[in-house]
Structure 1
Amino acid sequence: MMTVDEVALLASELPEASEGERYGNRSWSVAGKAFAWERPFSKADLRRFGEAFAPDGPILAVRVLDLADKEAVLAENPHGFFTIPHFDGYPAVLVRLDLVTSTALREALLDGWLACAPRALADRYFKS
């Protein structure tokens, strides 16, 4: 089980990543673009779940490059990663921190960072 504090530690390892706040929740950005943020369910989200079980525990949203990448991430990680109707058509996935492995979380954060980082910064990251 991963925690939001562990997310913060992993995100801080990425070049020029900064922690902030988004809608009262912790978020992590690069070049002014959020690549990960805490994403508790809203009342509307919970209504959409209806009688279905809404995942419990801390939820993290993480950007992906595009919608094709989103589908690939969801297919590769069916137990810890998911989406909701609010994210339809938006390049981000949701992560259940209580189910995700540290390796999968680290990869997701890196992918999110790469989706938002300026190309020159990303190039320098891979050259180091």
Structure 2
Amino acid sequence: MPYVTVEYGGGDNPVYQVGRKSFIFFRNPRPDAVDPDTGERYADVIVFWVESEADKQALIRDETSPFFTTAHFNGHLSVLLRAGRLGELTRGELAELIQDAWLSRASARRADAWLKAHPPAG
């Protein structure tokens, strides 16, 4: 994606930004995302911004999907995904997730230019 910069947050985790706005970042283990069987904090949580609450709900509604959220992210337009579950997504699904995260945070001018150059399929 164009205009992407990478900053590094706590624990030297990458934070991908467009126009100084984060759209994907890797979290440090936190008490709000834990393995229900062991109580261990997940060390591989990735946060992806979404366009709307409806988009968020569409991704997390199905409990078998790899997407989830926590109370910490109530009201935040993002979904969580464990890196260990990335293989459950096709390359196309992952590319769409990344593009949509970028589009949700890019300026209108940049988003319009991207969409004109890469029209959605279908």
Q: Which stretches in structure 1 are left out of the alignment for 5+ residues?
A: 1-13
Instruction: Report the AA paired with residue 36 of structure 2.
Output: A
Alignment equivalent of 1:83, drawn from 40, 65, 69: 69
Q: Is 1:19 equivalent to 2:6 in the alignment? A: yes
- Residues 23 and 98 (structure 1 numbering): CA distance in 2 closer, same or farther, change over 3 Å? same
Q: TM-score, normalised by structure 1?
A: 0.75
1:59-109 deviation digits (Å, cap 9, x = unpaired): 100001121111012236843111111111111000122222233222111
Any gaps of 5 or more consecutive residues in structure 2?
118-122
Count residues with an aligned counterpart. Answer: 111
Q: 1:79 to 1:26 in 2, by over 3 A?
A: same
Question: Per the alignment, in what secondary structure is the counterpart of residue 86 of structure 1?
Answer: helix
TM-score by length of 2: 0.78
Equivalent pair of 1:31/1:118 in contact (CA under 8 Å): yes
Contact 1:79–1:99 at 8 Å: present in 2 too?
A: no
Residue of structure 2 equivalent to 1:122:
111
Identity percentage of aligned residues: 28
Give 1 or 2: higher helix fraction.
1
Over aligned residues, Cα RMSD in angstroms?
A: 2.2
The corresponding residue for 2:53 is 67
- Which deviates the most, 59-68 or 28-37? 59-68
